[in-house]
Amino acid sequence: MATGQTASAARDPGPPPALCRTTLNYVAPRAATGEDVRPTEVDILDGRAAVLPGWQACGFELMSHRAATTDWDDEAHVAEVHYPELEALARTLTGCDHALIVSHITRNPEQASRHADLGPISFVHSDFAASYGDLLRDNYRNPREETRRALARAGIDGTAVSDARRLVVLQFWRNVGPPKMDLPIAFCDARTVPETDLRVLPVTDYAGGGFDFETLAVAAPEDPSRHHWYAFDSMTDGEIVAFRTYDSDMAEHGGPFWTPHSAFADPAVTPGRPSRRSIELRATCVFR
């Protein structure tokens, strides 16, 4: 140990290596629409080599999770088998009373051909603005069929959500294709993105499903290194990333409930060889 170096400094591993340098699509600082894009070069850091504090602090976390699901392309099988196992994981991770998964999104070339919103989203965003809590509560006051199925699995009715003291949205991302892909996903440490960098933008008729909501775009920073981006190279279907996109308590008290994320072009992979194949699920975590 060098003279004057503290023990804690000696243990500090320093920043992790960069996986690659690539371009992410932020919005311009004064953007009024999502079309006002500002491509920005950033370093994507190696999340596997990083010392990260977990999803409750930085917004996202990689964990091992071997699913019982055997066919990721079978929509009914995923709903029957995978929804309950991730609802159980969400309850464990958050300590909530109930976790509800209503639907999922698979992103692959076949789905992207159906609607652009179902392809990898190469735009820096966090899914929901602070207004999402009111939208959630309203949706559960008048639940649709798939929402009623989630409520039935939990043994509750919609008032448990509409009257909840706290709501957290915890999302899950899993690679179900080859470990290397053309458009993997990167996550930004929420602690490095202040609220002043966020822009509320409307989303209308998402993926043609009639769902309208407000999302959070992120304005391009003057110094791109201020935002710390991480990816987990060569993920398998035995791993999953949990990331937070809403928390009613944090939204009320000014905490970073957002977790910016985006697909990015891996410069080591030729586009489409192979294409990304992933699945995403969103758990509404209910605290009575």
CATH number at residue 252: 2.60.120
Give the count of beta carbons closer than 10 Å to the beta carbon of residue 78: 20
- H or E element: which one contains 218? strand 213-218
In a domain, 190, yes or no: yes
Cβ neighbours of residue 259 closer than 8 Å, sequence gap 6 or more:
55, 59, 60, 126, 187, 188, 190, 243, 244, 245
Please, which pLDDT band fits residue 11 given cuts at 50, 70 and 90?
low
In a domain, 20, yes or no: no
Instruction: Specify which residues 5 forms β-bridges with.
Output: none
Please, which pLDDT band fits residue 8 given cuts at 50, 70 and 90?
very low
Longest dimension (CA), the chain: 67
Q: Decide if 284 contacts 136 (C-beta within 8 A).
A: yes
Q: Is the pTM of this model over 0.85?
A: yes
In a domain, 17, yes or no: no
Q: Which of helix, strand or coil describes residue 223?
A: coil
**How many structural domains compose the chain?**
1
Residue 249: both structure tokens together: 């308590």
Burial of 161 by CB count in 10 Å (0-12 exposed, 13-18 middle, 19+ buried)? buried
| Tens digit of each residue's pLDDT (9 = 90 or more) over 19-34 | 999 999 999 988 777 7
Q: Decide if 216 contacts 246 (C-beta within 8 A).
A: no
In a domain, 145, yes or no: yes
Amino acid type, 236:
T
Please, which pLDDT band fits residue 13 given cuts at 50, 70 and 90?
low
Look up the domain containing 173 and give its range. 38-287
Strands 229-231 and 125-126 come out as unpaired
In a domain, 1, yes or no: no
The yes-or-no verdict on residue 204 having pLDDT over 70 is yes
In a domain, 2, yes or no: no
In a domain, 32, yes or no: no
Average pLDDT, the chain: 93
| Tens digit of each residue's pLDDT (9 = 90 or more) over 236-264 | 999 999 999 999 999 999 899 999 999 99
In a domain, 231, yes or no: yes
Closest to 242 (Cα-Cα) out of 218, 259, 217: 259
Q: Which of helix, strand or coil describes residue 285?
A: strand
Q: Which of helix, strand or coil describes residue 147?
A: helix
Closest to 132 (Cα-Cα) out of 206, 78, 186, 65: 206
Distance of alpha carbon 229 from its chain centroid, rounded? 13
Token look-up 């910016």 returns: 260
